[in-house]
Each structure stands twice: as C-alpha cells, then as structure tokens.
Structure 1
C-alpha cells in the first residue's frame, strides 16, 4: 500500500480538484464539502486504510467539516485543517500559482518568526491571513493577529498588530495553514470589510473564488453563508454588496478591476473567460459581449514575453469579425485613460446595435443594491 501522504495527494489531485469545479453548479456545494471531509478524515486517521476510513465516515454521518482542538491549537478555538498549502514551487508557466507560492512562502517564514516572539499560539488575521493563503491584493506589511479578548495578553512588539473580533468563536472562523492558525477564507473576507472599500472587497471575493482549483480558497456560496450566519457582524451590508458584484471563475484581480471600471462607466456586465473557436483553435477572451462580438483583454507584464502569440491571437479574432480592446496595467491605474478606453468600447457597442444595453455612469454602491437585483429577477 502507498504511503499515506502519497494517497492523500493522489486523492486530492484526482477527486478533490474536479469536485471543486463541480461545486460551481452544485447549489449547496455538497460535493466540495464532502471531498474536503473525506480528506480531513484520512489525515486524522492513525491507521489510514479503507476500512478504518469507511468506519469513521459511517460513524459520523452528515457533511459537517471535521475540526480539531489539539494541545497545539490556540486556547478556546477550534481550527480546520486546510488544504491551501503550496508545498512545491509551481511551473513558471503558471504565473498566478508562482506568485501565490512566493507570497505564501514569505508569510509562512514571517509568521513563524512571530510565533517565536510571543508566548502564545497566535491566530493570524487580515492581510497576514491572506498572505498565508497566498493572496496578495493590497498587502499590509505589518503582522496582524486577532483574539476575542485583547486584555488577556501583554503588549506585543512591533510590527505585530493585535485586533479583537466578535466572530472568532465560530466553528468556521479558524483554519491552520502549515503550522500557523489563521482566520478562514470566509472569515478573512468578512474581517477585511473593516478596511477595504467596495471595489477592493469585490476583488477579494473574485480572487478567493477564482477559476484555478489550486488557488481557489472559497466559493461565493461559502462567503455568503459566513456573512449571512454571523450574529452582530460589522459591515454586513458592504460584504453582501461585494458578493453581488463578484463573479466566480475569474483569473486575476486586475481583470476584476477592469470589469468593475467598465461597470462604473455605464457598460453592461460582461461574460468572463469567454471561449470561442477561431481558425480551428479555441481562443479565450478575458471579457466579452458575445452578442456584439466585442472582447476586452487585460495585459500584464508577462504579456510582453508572449507578444507574438498575442498578436497572432488578436489577428485571428479580427479576421473572425471580432473587435478586441486590450488594456495594460498603466491604463488601468489612470482614470483618464480608462475613460478613453471605455468611450472606445461604448462606441463599438453602439455601432454593433447595443444602444439598449449601454447606460449612464453609476457608482458601485448603487449597482450592488439588493433591491435593484431583485427587480431584475
């Protein structure tokens, strides 16, 4: 029989990752939760063989996740063993995975240094929890920890910042990444609402529910469930509005920023990662209005190394009567440049007969209003 670690790895690669993709169409995310629970049971079994796993699974019916509160966990908290560790450096062709691995490696080292400095087992939160999960959007270099009662611990040395939060007692609030306890993806999303504006929080929801199964940390359903079930949760309205604007299956926070910039300027919601057959090959557009054959592409720095391939792809799309509008990071950072960009896309939409879908500029808070979404439904 193979080693336990090998078995778990094979199970995750063959079953868990496809299940994450299937959970998108599963309204209750039961496939995702079930596979996570099986792996948790496997990891916590002293003699990992099919009989013992099956026996424990039968003895604990239902789909509730398995939690641990061992002697090494923070006092008073139960944590879930996560599967967010990136233990090997990914291939260079996986740009976002390489970035996540780099961010996570840095924060694992920094968090271990913090654990050596303090006299208790800290629960890392906010930007530090995001870093442990390999997420970087607007990273704060300070080290953030959270607890239910700040007065029970002594003053902490810089750069450690201590916070209190009334949701930390919840079963789904704390996980472990490697040997560090931190707030779970859903808890971190809700906690970040105290610092992020609507646009940044929407981008965070997109990143957590991204298309890549290796980097996906949660789903919109799970984020919404944590927010909806939290009693006395601050900034609940902000969280719910961010979830209404977020989309599952995005590829990068910059593409999310582009989508939101377009929405604010009166253009309709686009289809993300739109696939089409052109010149005998499958081409994927970051965002598209298929009915009007208009596409939008975000080009990061890595596109400079694949410029020839991008030109070939854009030429094929143009030959197929598509109009594709690329945008670079410098343009995305400039309001005036984005105004000019959206005017060009708007003109193309109007020329293609899209006058009924083009509206006036509106702020994101209005666009995310729940009453507006109910009227549409």
Structure 2
C-alpha cells in the first residue's frame, strides 16, 4: 500500500529549506531578500505552507481554496515589494515547480504509481492557479515603486509572451482588454533611451495604448479595428526613417501575431512617414523569399546587377508604385517618359527580366522591396 503522501509530509521541513536554499544560491535578488532574517522566515513559512496544503488537498482530491490563493498572492506581493524583477519571479516559480516534482520523484516507490499520478494530475491545474495568484500578488507589490509607465511596458511584454496573469492584472492598470489586438512593430535603430520613453508615454497618454521597446523595435498593442494616428505621432517624435509591420491576434494568445509583425517589419522599406501599415498580405512574397536563403541570394544577385544604374531601383519603385503608368512614374522621378523607357530597357538588359511582364513584376518588385528594406 502506498504511503507516498505520508512520506512527503515527514519531509516537508527538509524540502522547504532546500527549495529556499536553491533559490538563494541561484538568484542574487532572492538571496538579497533572504539575508533579512524576517524575509527568510517568511520564505520558509510559505514553502512549508504550500507543501502542507498540497498534501492535504491531494489526499481529499480538493482544489486550492480562496484562502489558500490569498496566502499565495500575499507572498507574491511581498516579493514584489522587495523590488525583485519579473525575470527573477519567473525563475522562482520555475524552481518551486521543479522542486515539487523532484520531491515526488525522490519519495515515490514501486507501489506509488497511482498516488503519483493523482498528485501530478492535481498539480497541473492547481499549480497554474497558484502561479497566477503569486504573479498577480507580485504585480500588486511592484506598484509601490514601479512607475505606471513601467507597469504598462511590463504589461505589454507579458501579453506578448502569452502570460495569463497580464490580462488578469489589466484592470489594475486601467486597461480595457479587447478580444483582439493589432500588434504594431516599428523598427528604427539608434533611438536614444529618452526618446524611446517619450514614445511610450505619448501613445499611452494620448490613446491608452500599451507599448514597449525591444531593442530597436517599438511595439504597440492597438485594439483591432480602431484606427489611430499612433504611427504619425511615432514618426514625429523619432524624426528618422523606420519600417513598420502589423499582425492581428487574440489578446489571450498574441505571441504568434507578434512574431509575424516582427517578420513583416524586417522586409518593409524604411520611411520617414509611412502611408500604409504593412501586413503579411502586402509583403507575402518578400516574407517567402526571406525564409529561403537560396531565393534571397538570387534576389541579392539581381539587386547587385541593378546597381549598374542609373537609379534603376528607384525607377522600378516609382514604376510599380504608380501601377506601371509611365507618365505618372516619370513625373514622380522628375524625368522624361523616354528616359524612363531607357531605364526600364536597361533593367531588362542587366537582369534578363522584362519589368512590365507578369513575371517581371513578381520578381523585380520583390527585389526592390528587399533592397529598400535593407538600405
């Protein structure tokens, strides 16, 4: 007969001390807090508490109670108040989850399979509920020292990473979460930190749109179907060329849309004031080429040939932007239509591709997009 729960109960104190020691050894922020005897005692008390409750509730096949989750949230809040980062938070939660599984494995014997499976089945949903309560408490604790804009940026990053606690915390930040977001990514290198902060402040205060930066990428979450002049404001503040991409996805699962918007932004041209918010529909050929190194090298070779000029890339760009209308393209280029014809003929000579054919439009428009996207 299995006595797995009884054995785990006897080891509660030892296992609780061990998990606190592991967190302290691996995480400097956690160790700094644990150096305070009162904080250390609180950490240990919580590790003991959650193990006692897990064993009791597994034995009765019962979920965590509201009171249990309130204790978990209060512990997370205390960690947030001490200034621990969200990166450390995720690591702490991972260490606690791993420690619990290791403790079960160490205690389980050959006759404990049914109880082991019962525990694992309980830990799935209840562990997720406890982690969310801990995270929400942590975010509440951060409010004591993290400015609102810092909280908004953190919210954005959590939503983009598909972290459920972000949506649950939205109301505390005054954010109304729509069913669907349009993720907008604007790429521009070399933006200084002060300007980056100004952009996030501006879009939040003018539009209540959460946003953040990932290196050279500004990312904003706009409710789908809500037109906004956000990009115009962005262009005015940074005053330099940037490329932009967008994709739409459910608020509860935005990571895929974020990844696609990023990819789109990397194949669109840099402009000082884009007149269009590019999506995958606009650049599906460029996206396909970017995924295939062999095709990308071939397009690069065609681009290299176009460098024989004069101004063949800009000529093709104007020609295709004006739907192959020679007169309008020539006006945009400030040249005579016959000069345009000469340049188009020169493109044919250098590449072997006729610009006005269906074949030429598909290939050369992609070449132009790739050249302009990469400067």
TM-score calculated relative to the size of structure 1: 0.29
Task: Please identify which structure carries the higher strand content.
Answer: 1
Whose radius of gyration is greater, 1 or 2? 2
TM-score calculated relative to the size of structure 2: 0.29
